[in-house]
Structure 1
Amino acid sequence: MKTASKERTLQWISNQYNKGNISFSHKLQRPIGQWSPKMKSLLIHSLLSGFPVNPIYCVEENNTIYTLDGSQRTSTCISYIKNEFALSKDTPNIVMKTKENGESVTKGYEIAGKKFKKLDSDVQNTLLACSLEFCTLSDYTDNEVKEMFRRQNNGKPLNSKLLRIVNESDQFSDMVYSLTTHPFMNKLVTKTQRKNGTDRDLIIQTLMLMETNQEHEFVSFRGKDIDAFVSDYADTISQDKIDMLKTTLDKFDELLDEVKIPVTSIPMILYSGYRIVKDKKSFPKLVEVVEEFLTKYDTNEEYKVFVQSGTSGQENVRGRFDWWRNKIRSI
């Protein structure tokens, strides 16, 4: 594996993104839009003030740059230049050297609460000339890219959900990515849950339920059991099942506008949708069951036994799983 680093101005980055030459859709990266307004503002202030910013690690495939580490930083810069957000009201002023009457003077500028178009022209030009270091990998294998990702995040607060991807096959990672980025997932999980990798685990847990049968039982959602499923069994999942799960997400997205499902029940409900599609039963009737379940959730003492404590353990997962299987049998 080889690496080559080059400073890229924000003007260049923005232009390349507008041309479609920069993408944030690499499977190793979290979806963009995870940062708070304060985090975004701090990055812009850092660039204008000369504070160092970590490099952007990327690969180039088919003339497109895919960010591996640094999607949030890069997308924040692009978004700000496009006037998509204003800086936080508590963003400190910046001090810059500028030319006045042919002489170099030091001048303060207020940037708090401003979008890019509202900045002084001197500040706009300075920001566009600021640069991020792009470290591009070449002559790499997929395993080397994953290992680089693991090492880059070794000392960072990424949890096991996010680091689990380094042990996945490329085929499985692609499959999970395609499902987590489905529009219906935006109705199921929050930005925080996307940030910490909960969306990935929910899809994997759903797949575990789909693969549970008389020969194999995957009804423990403890971390070690999810890891074991991913490493030992995930690649045997058929494309037909994945297609049916995608159809399930399509149908839920069509029939449910707003939905607040307890995270412990999301895999069970997605599994139920998969079974309804597989068995060619009425999906609208399942939606009625889901809506009734959510309406009566707080008083459902039979079900609440399985969501009190140790919700990822085998006994409680099995309890929720069986409850939903009984429901879909009646449809």
Structure 2
Amino acid sequence: MSLNRSTITWNSRQIYNMVRTGVIDFSAVVQRSFVWEKKRRSALIESIIIGYPVPAVFAKRQKENDPGSNASVYFIMDGKQRLSTISSYLEDEFTLSDLPPVHYHNVETNTEEEFDISGKKFSELPDSLKDIINTFSINVEYFDDLTDEEEKELFKRLNAGKPLSAKNRTIASCKDIYRLIEVGEHELFKEMLTERARGNKSQVAIVVKFWCMLNRNISEVSFESRILNPLVENTEISEEEKNEIVRVLDYAHEVHEKLLERKLKKVAKKFYKETHLVSLVPYLNAGINSGIDVEKFADWVEEVFDSENGVTTLPAYNDATLSGVAKNSKIIERDNALSISYNEFFA
């Protein structure tokens, strides 16, 4: 069956307004989140002014969830950096840099002119240059009614030959990406990870690590890339397993809030470090199943992580965080140290 594909054009001013109103959406699951450095962003604006061609953008068009609305949203699959650069420059969010003066035709005076655009925001440009940027048009290829599998396959084909990171390749091939992303929307990850890390889908791998700690024997768990990446690609999480992970995330989030209430910022920060939080997953789950109050569980976390020397008050755990933290042997060593501490504390 052929894809339902259409072509339209957007000018820069349209792009700016559509980004602001959410008609253009950069949160497509397969979209890469790498952010262009200032030099590349500046070069794009220079290309627009001079008249060099800019590659087309690819999007998935989808109706809004509101049943009473006929409006559509364009989820960008390839071209995020181009569109976000145009929008942010019109918003005066960055200045151009490391560019030679540009030669352009001033329509108002019908003369050829030169202007040094380096160091200039959009609002600081002459009106004639603003007009050139505002009226610049880019081709948009969009697809209606894409299935999840078609979207992932299209992403891989659009990016064939591009230097995709191992993480991007893994996410593009992930069987259960939508469920993993759904769990990854938890409030805990918004506090634990930076916006850029979430945009790069770092929470996907963490959710799979949570799943491993809850559903696999510790002797079989390894987070080395050669083992974890295939696991992220092929793991399918049941509804029951998803709910269990969310329950642990809820509990961990409450523990973190208790630590902050006690003004234990250093402990709370350690608690949200990926290695430590993942190591604590079996004990967070045990605390829930044993009916341990969040306040009491926070007491144990405080006892373990309130250390001036070393990561924790547990020497064996500290030794297992010095190197090779993803290896099975180190995961087991950390688990053994936490097991002894947990059982002693809650005995």
TM-score by length of 2: 0.77
Describe the SS at the equivalent of 1:268: helix
- Asked whether the equivalents of residues 42 and 97 of structure 2 are also in contact (C-alpha less than 8 Å), the reply is no
Establish whether residue 126 from structure 1 lines up as the match of residue 136 from structure 2.
no
**Structure 2 unaligned residues grouped into runs of 5+:** 64-71
Q: Deviations over 1:262-287 (max 9, x none)?
A: 55434224665455445443433355
Alignment map for 1:220-239 (pairs within 5 Å): 220-230=222-232, 232-236=234-238, 238=240, 239=242
Q: Is the 8 A contact 2:98 2:118 kept in 1?
A: yes
Distance in 2 (CA, whole Å) between partners of 1:279 and 1:138 is: 49
1:243 aligned onto 2:257: no
Deviating more after overlay: 204-213 vs 248-257: 248-257
2:209 is aligned to: 205
Q: Distance in 2 between matches of 1:289 and 1:38?
A: 48
Query: How far does the alpha carbon of each residue in 1:229-256 deviate from its partner, in whole angstroms, 9 at most, with x for none?
Result: 3455432352321431441464366455
- 1:9 matched to 2:11? The reply is yes
Equivalent position to 1:143, from 143, 146, 149: 149
C-alpha separation in 2, matches of 1:286 and 1:149: 45
Q: Which residue of 1 aligns with 2:69?
A: none
Cα deviation per residue 1:73-96 (whole Å; 9 max; x = unaligned)?
A: 22232222222x122443443322
Deviation at 1:130, TM superposition (A): 1.4
2:103 maps to a residue whose letter is V
Deviations 1:43-65 (A, max 9, x none): 32332233333322111111111
**How many angstroms apart in 2 are the aligned matches of 1:217 and 1:51?**
57
Alignment check: 8 A CA contact 1:10 1:128 kept: yes
Counterpart AA for 1:2:
N
Whichever residue aligns with residue 43 of structure 2, its letter is L
Distance 1:231 1:116, change over 3 A: closer
1:267 is the counterpart of 2:285: no
The aligned residue for residue 57 of structure 2 is 56
1:235 aligns to what SS in structure 2? coil
- AA paired with 1:65? Y
RMSD: 3.3
User: How many Å apart are 1:139 and its aligned residue?
Assistant: 4.7
Report the counterpart of residue 155 of structure 1 in structure 2.
161
Q: Tell me the distance in 2 between the aligned counterparts of 1:56 and 1:46.
A: 16
Aligned-partner Cα distance in 1 for 2:279–2:32: 24
Does the residue aligned with 2:227 lie in a helix, a strand or coil?
helix
Shift of 1:114: 2.8
Stretch of structure 1 that moved more, 309-318 or 263-272: 263-272
Q: Any idea what SS the aligned residue of 1:307 has?
A: coil
Q: Deviations over 1:274-319 (max 9, x none)?
A: 5544544343335525642686328864224323443322212222
Q: Could you tell me how far apart the structure 2 residues matched to 1:244 and 1:55 are? A: 43
Partner AA of 1:166 in structure 2: A
Q: What is the rounded CA distance, in whole Å, between the counterparts of 2:91 and 2:253 in structure 1?
A: 31
Equivalent in the alignment of 1:18: 20
Tell me the amino acid that sits aligned with residue 241 of structure 1: E
Q: Is the 8 A contact 2:44 2:82 kept in 1?
A: yes
Cα gap change, 1:116 to 1:231, in 2 (>3 Å):
closer
- Corresponding residue number in structure 1 for 2:98: 90
Using a 3 Å threshold, how does the CA distance of structure 1 residues 232 and 126 change in structure 2: closer, same or farther?
A: closer
Whole-angstrom CA distance in 2 between matches of 1:178 and 1:5: 31
Residues 203, 267 of structure 1: 8 Å contact kept: no
Partner of 2:90: 81
SS at match of 2:320: helix
Preserved CA contact (<8 Å) 1:6 1:134: yes
**Corresponding residue number in structure 1 for 2:320:** 306
Kept after mapping to 1: 8 A contact 2:101/2:115: yes
Larger radius of gyration: 2
Q: Deviations over 1:116-153 (max 9, x none)?
A: 22222222221111122211123533212111111222
Cα distance in 1 between the residues matched to 2:31 and 2:322: 33
Where in structure 1 are there 5+ consecutive unaligned residues? none
Contact 2:316 2:333 in 1 (8 A): no
SS of 1:58 mapped into structure 2: strand
The residue number in structure 1 matching 2:181 is 177
The answer to whether the Cα contact below 8 Å between 2:320 and 2:333 also exists between their aligned partners in 1 is: yes
Query: Is this contact kept in 2: 1:34–1:195, CA < 8 A?
Result: no
| Contact 2:88-2:94 within 8 A present in 1 as well | no
User: Do structure 1's residue 323 and structure 2's residue 337 form an aligned pair?
Assistant: yes
d(CA) in 2 for partners of 1:138, 1:182? 29
- Amino acid corresponding to residue 174 of structure 1 in structure 2: Y
